[in-house]
Amino acid sequence: MLGAMSWIKIVILLLFAVIIGSLASALFHLLKDRGKTGRTLKALKVRITLSIAAFALLILGYMAGWIQPHGIVPPPQRAAPVQSQ
């Protein structure tokens, strides 16, 4: 069974995939219709709405403790202080 940390990551990844698909759809309609229909605008509105939802989900996941921020490179380990005698 998936824990809270796993399902939130899967949902975020699916949202990002749909966002990219919506962006590709907007590009397709822009090139095909030459701006004569509103399909490009509709696809971009969907992308913006999904992006806001993804951002809100990231904030909610962080505040609920489901996801933890981390850097690409972990911070360096600090050496133990040397005691002088």
- Number of domains within the chain: 1
Would residue 82 count as lying in a domain?
A: no
**pTM for this structure?**
0.70
Would residue 9 count as lying in a domain?
A: yes
Would residue 80 count as lying in a domain?
A: no
- pLDDT(2) > 70: no
Q: Which amino acid is at 68?
A: Q
Would residue 81 count as lying in a domain?
A: no
Would residue 31 count as lying in a domain?
A: yes
Range of 42's domain?
4-62
Would residue 19 count as lying in a domain?
A: yes
pLDDT tens digits, one per residue of 5-24: 678 888 889 999 999 999 99
- pLDDT(84) > 90: no
- Model confidence band, residue 80 (pLDDT cutoffs 50, 70, 90): low
Q: At what angle do helices 4-33 and 39-64 cross, to 10 degrees?
A: 160
> How much is the pLDDT for 4?
57
